[in-house]
Amino acid sequence: MNMFRFLGDMTHLFSVLVLLLKIHTIKSCAGISLKTQELYAIVFATRYLDLFTDYISLYNTVMKLVYLGSSLSIVWYMRRHKLVRRSYDKDQDTFRHHFLILPCLILALLINEKFTFMEVMWAFSLYLEAVAILPQLVLLQRTRNIDNLTGQYVFLLGAYRSFYILNWIYRYFTEVHYVHWITWISGLVQTLLYGDFFYYYFHSWKNNEKLQLPA
Amino acid sequence: EGRDLNHDEL
C-alpha cells in the first residue's frame, strides 16, 4: 500500500470519526445534512458486501467495519438521539436524496466491470458516493455559514479525495494491469464537486466573510 | 459468487 492510499484512508477515517465524536460530545448536529449521511451509509453498506465473501487483509476488514459502524452511528444519532435530533436543520435539509439513488442504480446496471450482483453493487456505491455530498452542499448554501464542524468535515473529505487520486496515478504507473475506469471517473466527478466547494470556502475565508455559495 | 475483480481499495 502506498503512502497516498494510506493518507487517503486516514483522512476519510478522520472525517467520519471527527464528525461522530463531535456529535457525541456537543450533542449537536447543526449544519450536518442527514440526507448526505444516509447516502454514505448506503454507499458503505453496498460497497462492503464483500466482507462476507472475500478476505483481502485485516486492515481492509477493520477499516470497512469502522466506516460502516461510524456512518450508521451518525445516522442513528441524527434520527434517534433525543438531544442531537433537536439540533438537526430539518427544514433546510430538503434535498430529495432518494432521487439520486435510482439513477445511480440504473447507471450501475448499465456500466459495471462485470454484470454480477456484487459488481453492480460496487459500481452503484461508487456512483452514489460521487454525488452523496450534494445535500450537504445545498444545506451549506441554504444556511450560508460554515462552522468549524462542517468546515473540518468537508476539508477532511476533500483531502481524502485528493490523496485517492494521487494513489490511482501512482498505482497506474507502478502496477501492471491496474486500470479501473469506473472508480477513476466517478472519483473525479466527486472531487470536482468538492473543488467547487473549496473555491467558495477559500474565497470567503480570504475575504473574512461568511461562506456564501452562488444560488 | 466471489469477487474475481481485485477491489482492494476502500
Judged by CB atoms closer than 8 Å, whether chains meet at A118 and B9 is answered as: no
Cell 479501473 sits on residue: A180
pLDDT of residue A195: 84
Question: How many residue pairs from chains A and B have C-beta atoms closer than 8 A?
Answer: 30
Please report the pLDDT score of residue A70 as a whole number.
96
Exposed/middle/buried for A89, CB within 10 Å: 0-12, 13-18, 19+?
middle
Q: What is the mean pLDDT of chain A?
A: 90
* ipTM, two decimals: 0.80
Substitution target in B4, B6, B7 with the highest count of A β-carbons within 10 Å is: B7
Identify all chain A residues contacting B2, using CB atoms and an 8 Å cutoff.
Answer: 53-54
Q: What confidence score (pLDDT) does residue A205 get?
A: 65
Give the residue-averaged pLDDT of A179-189. 94
Q: What is the pLDDT of residue B1?
A: 45
CB contact under 8 A, B5 and A119: yes
Which of the two residues, A149 and A71, has the higher pLDDT score?
A71
Could you read off the pLDDT of A43-67 as tens digits, one per residue?
A: 999 999 999 898 999 999 999 999 9
CA–CA distance, A60 with A137 (Å, rounded to integer): 29
pLDDT range class, residue A151, cuts 50, 70, 90: confident
What is the average per-residue pLDDT within A120-147?
Answer: 88
Q: Is A144 left (phi over 0), alpha (psi -120 to 50) or beta?
A: left
> pLDDT confidence of A180, banded at 50, 70, 90?
very high
Q: What is the pLDDT of residues A63-106, one digit of tens each?
A: 999 999 999 999 999 999 999 999 999 999 999 999 999 999 99
Q: What is the pLDDT of residues A99-129, one digit of tens each?
A: 999 999 999 999 999 999 999 999 999 999 9
Measured between alpha carbons, how far is A57 from A63 in angstroms, rounded to an integer? 10
In angstroms, the first-to-last Cα distance of chain A is 42
User: Residue A215: is its pLDDT beyond 80?
Assistant: no
Give yes or no for residue A212 having a pLDDT over 70. no
Q: Do A53 and B3 touch (CB under 8 A)?
A: yes
Q: Which residues of A touch B3 (CB under 8 A)?
A: 50, 53-54, 118-119
- pLDDT tens digits for A152-176? 887 898 899 999 999 999 999 999 8
Map residue A209 onto helix, strand or coil.
coil
Q: Higher-confidence residue: A75 or B7?
A: A75
A140 pLDDT more than 90: no
Collect all residues with Cβ–Cβ distance below 8 Å to A8 and sequence separation of at least 6.
A159, A160, A161, A162, A163, A164, A166, A167
